[in-house]
């Protein structure tokens, strides 16, 4: 499904859904578990993407790429589209893409670069509201352990609740090479052993659907930000939201 189509799924009462999750968590207290992805769920990683493309542009004397900004990453993960949005001619996009992609892969999955991420609107305050209910908060991310330092540093910079290895956990892949989908499914089983999963939040339709199947009694929230581009339809019952800002 296209990005705009996911945004069309956002209902006017989406804030009420987030508030009801907090109420349910409060009613269950310490037995409640809420799971959150990081990239494109709690964090906007387009600043990281833009920094990498700027550095590639500077290294290859491509002025338009050296001026890349987050807004050029229109759909989040499509580098060719971002290169074109920066103003690079199609022929140069094709000739540079493979090398630029390698350049990107060497940097994107590192602590040094993930510190550039920005928090999704309302994400920090929402994590604090979750822990205030007494529930356990679990960050479940496809990032690998070598990114832990940078991820926690970014959480601290933006005021999110920090992992404490007790009530707030950060569950990461042991290594970069592990498959994200398989890792997330294994992590879902771990969540079920921690308590009653009240809600789960993810931007990837595949992972949101996996949560829906694994925890049919939970509220599964899809962040309609961006995703990997796989043509996956969301299951019935998955609720799309644009961000976490609840307003007054």
pLDDT, mean over the chain: 94
Domain spanning 3-45+117-241, CATH architecture = 3-Layer(aba) Sandwich (3.40)
- According to the model, what pLDDT value does residue 4 have? 54
Q: Mean pLDDT throughout 123-152?
A: 98
Of 12-26, 118-132, 188-202, 225-239, the least confident: 225-239
What is residue 230's three-state secondary structure? coil
Residue 74's pLDDT is what? 81
Flag whether pLDDT at 76 surpasses 70. no
pLDDT tens profile 198-245: 999 999 999 999 999 999 999 999 999 987 777 789 999 999 999 999
CA–CA dist 24, 221 (Å, integer): 15
Q: Which of the residue ranges 29-33, 153-157, 180-184 would you say has the lowest mean pLDDT?
A: 180-184
Q: In sequence order, what are the residues at sequence separation of 6 or more whose Cβ sits closer than 8 angstroms to the Cβ of residue 182?
A: none
pLDDT of residue 166 exceeding 80, the answer is: yes
Pairing of strands 43-44, 118-119: antiparallel
Task: Count CA atoms closer than 13 A to 72's CA, side-chain side.
Answer: 24
Confidence of residue 173 (pLDDT cuts 50, 70, 90): very high
Residue 86 is predicted with a pLDDT of 97
- How crowded is residue 195: how many other Cβ atoms within 10 Å of its Cβ? 17
Q: Is the pLDDT of residue 89 over 90?
A: yes
pLDDT at 8: 81
- Position 248 scores a pLDDT of 55
pLDDT mean over 161-166: 96
Please report how the helices 14-28 and 123-132 are oriented relative to each other, as an axis angle in degrees rounded to 10. Answer: 30
- Residue 123: is its pLDDT beyond 80? yes
Domain limits of the chain? 3-45+117-241, 46-114
How far is residue 3 from each of residues 47, 69, 105, 203, 206, measured CA to CA in Å? 19, 20, 23, 11, 14
Is it the case that residue 131 has pLDDT exceeding 60? yes
> What was the pLDDT predicted at 228?
72
Segment holding 94, helix H or strand E: helix 90-108
Query: Does residue 43 have a pLDDT over 60?
Result: yes
């Amino acid at each position: 499904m296209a990005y705009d189509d996911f945004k069309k799924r956002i209902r006017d009462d989406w804030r009420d859904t987030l508030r009801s999750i907090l109420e349910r968590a409060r009613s269950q207290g310490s037995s409640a578990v809420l799971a959150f992805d990081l990239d494109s769920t709690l964090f906007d990683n387009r600043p990281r993407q833009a920094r990498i493309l700027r550095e590639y542009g500077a290294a290859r004397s491509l002025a338009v790429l050296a001026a890349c900004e987050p807004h050029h990453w229109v759909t989040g993960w499509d580098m060719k589209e971002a290169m074109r949005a920066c103003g690079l001619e199609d022929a140069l996009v094709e000739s540079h893409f493979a090398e630029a992609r390698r350049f990107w892969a060497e940097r994107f999955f590192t602590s040094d670069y993930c510190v550039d991420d920005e928090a999704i609107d309302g994400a920090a305050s929402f994590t604090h509201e979750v822990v205030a209910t007494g529930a356990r908060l679990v960050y479940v991310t496809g990032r690998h352990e070598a990114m832990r330092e940078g991820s926690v540093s970014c959480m601290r910079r933006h005021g999110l609740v920090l992992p404490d290895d007790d009530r707030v956990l950060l569950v990461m892949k042991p290594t970069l090479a592990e498959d994200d989908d398989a890792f997330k499914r294994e992590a879902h089983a771990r969540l079920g052993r921690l308590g009653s999963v009240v809600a789960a939040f993810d931007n990837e339709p595949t992972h949101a659907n996996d949560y829906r199947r694994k925890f049919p009694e939970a509220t599964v929230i899809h962040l309609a930000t961006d995703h990997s581009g796989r043509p996956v339809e969301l299951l019935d019952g998955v609720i799309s939201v644009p961000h976490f800002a609840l307003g007054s």
